[in-house]
């Protein structure tokens, strides 16, 4: 099975970083933005969706239906990091190897019977458990996760900022199983406030609406962070998944 590595992007034609982090990546943009992306991203395959696909959740849903087996990476990723290392071993994974790691991870997930797969959500080695490098429960990060064909997964178009929470919760409800290789972490620039991308739609009002929607659909497994001092905004969430 070959998994397509797809970068959903929006109005960042001159600032795409991820094509340098992994080989064979495909940019997915609105039809009206194709010419601008082609001008700034030479030799990169570009696939377009209709302009009426607005918002990241709708874009992701279109991508999963179009590509079937897909790994989605945000457009502001600088590199893949190897969290576990031996002395003298480089931590940054070269783009060719990063592509191979995506393929191997996706195929391992398929063989295990998982439909949602991803990598570590923490870049720090201290958070890595060498006795449990593959996690079969938990959540995926929005910036880097994959969906395999044949699942019951879909992205709610009413979700504005938290489509990763939605897909993780939906996967837990339907499939009970996830595949996370915590040996690797996709390093991403901080783009909470940044021109283009999700920043065009993200604000506190949207975060609050997403929280209440997730709470209404999935119940008490969705909680606000208990220590708001460490949160970027008042509606940062945690998930208490029972499996």
Q: How confident is the model at residue 165 (pLDDT cuts 50, 70, 90)?
A: very high
Token reading at 168? 């993780």
Determine the Cα angle at 204 with ends 230 and 197, to 5°.
Answer: 100
* CB-based contact 180:135 (threshold 8 Å): yes
H-run or E-run covering 209: helix 204-218
Q: How confident is the model at residue 128 (pLDDT cuts 50, 70, 90)?
A: confident
Token reading at 68? 């079937």
Give residues with Cβ within 8 angstroms of 201, minimum separation 6: 55, 56, 160, 161
By residue count, the chain amounts to: 243
Which pLDDT does position 193 carry in this prediction?
47
* CB-based contact 178:135 (threshold 8 Å): yes
Residue 213 has pLDDT above 50, yes or no: yes
Q: How confident is the model at residue 103 (pLDDT cuts 50, 70, 90)?
A: very high
pTM for the full predicted model: 0.90
Domains and CATH numbers, the chain: 4-192 (3.90.550)
H-run or E-run covering 181: strand 179-181
Q: How confident is the model at residue 125 (pLDDT cuts 50, 70, 90)?
A: confident
Per-residue pLDDT tens for 216-238? 999 999 888 776 566 666 677 78
State how far the alpha carbon of 122 is from the alpha carbons of 12, 126, 147, 232, in Å: 26, 9, 20, 16
């Amino acid at each position: 099975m070959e998994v397509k590595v797809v970068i959903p992007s929006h109005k960042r034609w001159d600032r795409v970083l991820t094509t340098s982090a992994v080989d064979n990546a495909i940019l997915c943009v609105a039809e009206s933005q194709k010419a601008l992306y082609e001008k700034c991203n030479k030799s990169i395959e570009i696939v377009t969706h209709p302009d009426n696909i607005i918002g990241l959740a709708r874009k992701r849903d279109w991508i999963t239906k179009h590509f079937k087996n897909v790994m989605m990476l945000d457009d502001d990723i600088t590199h893949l990091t190897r969290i576990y290392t031996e002395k003298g071993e480089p931590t940054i994974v070269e783009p060719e190897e990063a592509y191979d790691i995506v393929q191997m991870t996706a195929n391992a997930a398929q063989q295990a019977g998982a439909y949602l797969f991803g990598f570590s959500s923490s870049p720090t080695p201290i958070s890595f458990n060498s006795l449990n490098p593959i996690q079969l429960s938990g959540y995926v990060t929005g910036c880097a996760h994959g969906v395999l064909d044949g699942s019951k997964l879909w992205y709610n178009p009413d979700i504005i900022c938290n489509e990763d929470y939605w897909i993780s919760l939906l996967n837990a409800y339907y499939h009970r199983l996830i595949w996370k290789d915590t040996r690797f972490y996709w390093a991403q620039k901080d783009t909470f406030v940044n021109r283009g991308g999700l920043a065009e739609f993200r604000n506190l009002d949207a975060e609050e609406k997403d929280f209440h929607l997730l709470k209404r659909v999935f119940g008490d497994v969705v909680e606000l962070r208990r220590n708001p001092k460490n949160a970027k905004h008042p509606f940062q969430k945690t998930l208490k998944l029972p499996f």
